[in-house]
């Protein structure tokens, strides 16, 4: 199953992959070179397909928990000053997604979208310290009755050239459902109250829609 944001790219890639294989077969005379080039084309095509995969996730909806929004690796856990919305100190948890991870973003909890804003910016590598404030990004704040306001930020990386965000201010969202997509390498920052009890640790590999970041 593939994400709808990848349909156009998959169609274009299918056309070019098929055409390239035909050209190799028609114009490359050496059999071994034909095989090598065909394998390279096939590998490239498979990478495109796996990047846009959208596996079915059965999220256990629980208002007492905040779930991981994406597949990836926990790279930051620290107290920071959040300048855009809260304008005070928060507990930041950051998850880095490599190009081979599933890049579907899922809502971290059910609740009301209070804030949703897109920021154009640079394309520094996603683990760069300034990526949170200088890269292309979207900021979304969801309010629920247990945790209050929780902010998550989709951040483009060096390869990502488009962030897709489905959150609109005023809408009610359901934990674990599709919140957007980041194309080709990225990062998610989550900003939690300072007294939040975390269920993740640094360098942990996590699964979006399944693993729990925090609980009450």
Residues labelled catalytic: 186
Spatial separation of the C-alpha atoms in residues 214 and 212, rounded to whole Å? 6
Q: Within 13 Å, how many C-alpha atoms sit on residue 25's CB side?
A: 9
Q: CB within 8 A of 37, min separation 6: which ones?
A: 20, 24, 28
- Which of 141, 82, 146, 84 is closest to 114 using CA atoms? 141
Residue 27 to residues 18, 23, 34, 39: CA-CA distances in angstroms?
Answer: 14, 6, 9, 16
| DSSP secondary structure of 45-77 | HHHHHHHTB---------TTEEE--SSEEEEEE
Q: What is the CA radius of gyration of the chain?
A: 19
């Amino acid at each position: 199953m593939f994400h709808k944001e990848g349909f156009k790219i998959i169609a274009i890639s299918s056309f070019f992959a098929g055409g390239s294989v035909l050209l190799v077969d028609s114009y490359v005379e050496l059999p071994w070179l034909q095989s090598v080039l065909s394998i390279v084309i096939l590998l490239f095509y498979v990478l495109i397909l796996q990047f846009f995969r959208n596996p079915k996730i059965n999220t256990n909806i629980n208002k007492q928990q905040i779930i991981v929004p994406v597949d990836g690796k926990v790279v930051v856990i620290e107290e920071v000053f959040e300048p855009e919305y809260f304008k005070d100190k928060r507990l930041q948890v950051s998850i880095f997604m490599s190009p081979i991870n599933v890049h579907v973003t899922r809502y971290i909890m059910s609740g009301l979208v209070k804030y949703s804003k897109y920021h154009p910016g640079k394309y520094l590598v996603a683990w760069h310290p300034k990526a949170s404030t200088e890269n292309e990004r979207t900021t979304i704040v969801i309010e629920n009755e247990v945790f209050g306001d929780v902010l998550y930020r989709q951040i483009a990386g060096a390869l990502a050239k488009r962030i897709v965000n489905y959150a609109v201010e005023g809408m009610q969202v359901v934990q674990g459902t599709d919140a957007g997509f980041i194309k080709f390498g990225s990062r998610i920052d989550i900003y939690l109250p300072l007294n939040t009890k975390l269920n993740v640790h640094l360098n942990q590999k996590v699964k979006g829609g399944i693993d729990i970041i925090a609980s009450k």
